[in-house]
Every structure is written in structure tokens, then in C-alpha cells.
Amino acid sequence: MNKTKRRDPWFLDDYTINPYSGCSFNCLYCYIRGSKYGTHMEEKLSVKTNAVALLEKQLSNRTKKGQYGIIVISSATDPYLQFEKEEQLTRQILEVVLQYKFPVHIITKSDLVVRDFDLLHRINERAIIPADLRDRLPYGTIITFSFSTVDDRIGQIFEPGATPPSRRLNTLEAALQDGFHSGVSLMPLLPYITDTGEHLEEMFRSFQHAGARYIFPATITLFGNGPADSKTLVLRAVAKHYPHLLEKYERFFTQSYEVPKYYRDAFYKKTRELSAKYGLKSSII
């Protein structure tokens, strides 16, 4: 478990835990890929087998000092990868978290989280919320689902290993119906593909229909020119599936890792309007 330097205003992370190193969901736009994990990230995936024993020690120490804080699981991978079905490492971690009464924020693209709703409910009831959030955050469990699209066809191209967006949406709805405080991390959006007015409307409407409590939209950043880097892989996918957009992508990303400021400004204006229109808050608290 890592202590963060400061709590992020969106994700509220005081601590982070990544049970796995690498990620088998293999999203083309993923910023953790590149030379470290390679083109097919599942080949370099490793399981932190001593995580539970280490966490017990850390949480015992933090508890003695009264250093309660929100633990984000996960910040640099997904806690519900395909391996988790057999490994059950995330589940074991949650059992320790429950024992020491720390609050959690689960961030995932997977429907496997449903398996742990029992534990997450108990954490929700028993967790000790950090003193400065106690009057604003009445939840010990937060579950955020990450989306870049709600279209399964687009998801298959850009996030081939993840639970298809339509099933993810059903899981978001299931979490909300089960009483969890749950919402959407809408990032990264793909220029001219998933950030068009029509696609944004469809997504916001779907999230509102599911009952999402909050939404965090963000534009894309793409790095590196190596064969396994996110910029290379996304541009290659655009060339193959959206050749008419390649010139625009090259204009944006050849000299930069992000979309231009005028584009970002228009994007945030549009998503603020949609959040207001569909009654979706821009923060967890």
C-alpha cells in the first residue's frame, strides 16, 4: 500500500493498492504500457503474492496511529483482471481492509467486482472515514466504473481485454441498485470517435439511466513512439479502423501528447453542460 502525497480531488486517494503489476485488459491508450509492459501487457503481468501479509502489517501500524484514509484499489492496473477469478488476491486484500476498517474506492472496468459486493457492503458499513471527510462522505465503499465508450464495437478495438462496455454498464446499474455510491470515470475519450456530440449524449443518457451519482470526463493523452507505446498503438488502430481520422490524429499528436487547448476547452464546456443536463455531479462528495 502506498501513501499518496495528497488526496486527488476526483479519486479521493489517501492510499493506493495495486494487487497486480501490469494489466491484461490491454487498452491501447493505457499510459502504463510502453517499454515496461510491452505490446501485450498480459505477458508481463505479475501477481504480488506477498501483498496480503504486507498489507496486514501496514494497516496494523496505520490503525495504531489513527491514520485512517481512503484506499484506492487500483490506481495503475485493474483489481478485477481475468487472473483475479482464480487468484482471489483482491478479495483477500478486501478482507484485510475490512478487518482494519479502512474505506475503499474501487476503480474498475470489470464485472467481476459483483463477486465481492458482500465484502464491499460490510466495508461500507464499518469503515472509519478520515476525520476531514466525515461530515461530507457517508460511505465506506465507493465503486467507480471506467469507460471510454458505451459502444461494444469501439471497446473491442481500444480496450480488447476489458469487460465489454454494455456489460460494464449493467454492472454499474447493479452496484447502484445494490445501494453502493457508484459513478463513472469517463476517460480517456477518443477525439472524433467517442467525444462526438452524439456519442457523448448517448453515454451521459446511459449513465443517468443507470443511476450514476457522479461522472469525471477527461480527454486523452498519448505517449511514446516505440512499438508498444500508447501513441503508436492508438494511431495504428485509427489508421486501420478510422482511416478518415488519421490526419486529424497526426495533427494533434505528432508534436504533442494531448489534444490542443481550444479542443480541451470545448470538450470541458460540452461535458459540463451534459453533466448539468443529465443531473450528474462532477465529484464523489
Site for ligand SF4 in 243-272 (CB under 6 A): none
At residue 173's C-alpha, the angle toward residues 214 and 70, to 5°, is: 50
Q: Which of 1, 12, 17, 27 binds ligand SF4 (CB under 6 A)?
A: 27
Cα four-point dihedral sign 19, 222, 156, 194: positive
Burial class (CB in 10 A: 0-12, 13-18, 19+), 198: exposed
Alpha-carbon 91 to chain mean position? 18
| Shortest CB 98 distance to ligand SF4, Å | 25
Site for ligand SF4 in 202-221 (CB under 6 A): none
| Shortest CB 113 distance to ligand SF4, Å | 13
**Cell output for 42:** 498480459
| Shortest CB 78 distance to ligand SF4, Å | 4
Name residue, grid cell 477518443.
Answer: 190
Nearest to 4 by CA among 19, 17, 21, 23: 17
Radius of gyration of the CA atoms of the chain, in A: 19
Our CB check for ligand SF4 shows the closer of 160 and 170 to be: 160
Piece of 22-30, 56-64, 242-250, 277-285 that binds ligand SF4 (CB under 6 A) = 22-30
Q: Do the Cβ atoms of 267 and 252 come closer than 8 Å?
A: no
Q: Which of 11, 25, 158, 207 binds ligand SF4 (CB under 6 A)?
A: 25
Dihedral of the CA atoms 224, 225, 230, 234 (nearest 10)? 140
Lay out the site mask for ligand SF4 across 99-138 (x = CB under 6 A, - = otherwise): ----------x-----------------------------
| Shortest CB 138 distance to ligand SF4, Å | 28
Q: Which of 30, 70, 119, 190 binds ligand SF4 (CB under 6 A)?
A: 30
Our CB check for ligand SF4 shows the closer of 14 and 78 to be: 78
| Shortest CB 218 distance to ligand SF4, Å | 12
Dihedral of the CA atoms 23, 237, 220, 277 (nearest 10)? -110
Nearest to 21 by CA among 55, 50, 53: 50
Lay out the site mask for ligand SF4 across 147-166 (x = CB under 6 A, - = otherwise): ------------x--x----
Work out whether 174 is an interface residue with ligand SF4 (CB under 6 A): no
Q: Do the Cβ atoms of 281 and 275 come closer than 8 Å?
A: yes
Dihedral of the CA atoms 260, 262, 265, 268 (nearest 10)? -60
Our CB check for ligand SF4 shows the closer of 159 and 195 to be: 159
Residues that bind ligand SF4 (CB under 6 A): 23, 25-27, 30, 32, 77-78, 109, 159, 162
